[in-house]
């Protein structure tokens, strides 16, 4: 992580140095304005990814906590939120399907059928291991369950927020 922070900071310094060389850096009155301009530049040119900009803000906050306390990164974080709305991140499966099927086969052959099922459900629904371990029978709604309005031949897993009492419930549809 530290390496990613330093790489992102180096890219920011290089970019801001180019502004200084062009005589443009004097127009920025604060770090907040300079960071906001950099985030905007990264978004428009796609020369730096959103994750790299997040590394920059985290790295700067680590190196300069005084700037964090002064709110110098607030506008940058708000801009990254907007970037996320325009360009949502993609979820990736943690392993390839073929590797998962190898795990499932071994579990089935060794008699760990429930673990194999859990692995398949977790993979299909992008569940974290804590979500999977926290599932209860009452969280599963099969077709015909009165708790669900639409009956389309799917099972539904109701995922409770396992870390806090607040927060909205989530659900995942499992095609049968």
Looking at residue 10, what is its pLDDT?
A: 93
Axis crossing angle, helix 50-63 with helix 2-21, rounded to the nearest 10? 90
**Mean pLDDT for each 10-residue chunk of the chain (176 residues)?**
91 85 57 88 89 92 87 89 79 78 91 84 75 71 67 60 50 59
For 126-155, give the DSSP string.
T--HHHHHH--GGGEE-TT-TT-S--SSEE
Looking at residue 105, what is its pLDDT?
A: 92
* pTM across the whole model: 0.53
How far apart CA 55 and CA 45 sit, in angstroms, is: 18
């Amino acid at each position: 992580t530290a390496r990613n922070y330093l790489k992102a900071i180096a890219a920011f310094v290089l970019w801001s140095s180019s502004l200084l060389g062009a005589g443009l850096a004097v127009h920025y009155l604060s770090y907040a304005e300079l960071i906001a301009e950099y985030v905007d530049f990264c978004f428009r040119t796609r020369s730096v990814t959103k994750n790299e900009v997040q590394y920059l803000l985290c790295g700067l906050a680590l190196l300069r906590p005084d700037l964090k306390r002064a709110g110098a990164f607030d506008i940058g974080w708000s801009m990254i939120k907007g970037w996320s709305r325009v360009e949502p991140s993609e979820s990736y499966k943690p392993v390839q399907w073929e590797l998962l099927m190898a795990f499932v086969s071994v579990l089935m052959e060794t008699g760990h059928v429930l673990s194999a099922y859990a692995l398949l459900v977790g993979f299909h629904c992008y569940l974290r291991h804590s979500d999977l371990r926290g599932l209860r029978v009452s969280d599963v709604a099969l077709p015909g369950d009165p708790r669900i309005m639409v009956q389309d031949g799917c099972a539904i897993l109701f995922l409770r927020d396992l870390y806090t009492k607040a927060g909205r419930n989530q659900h995942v549809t499992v095609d049968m």
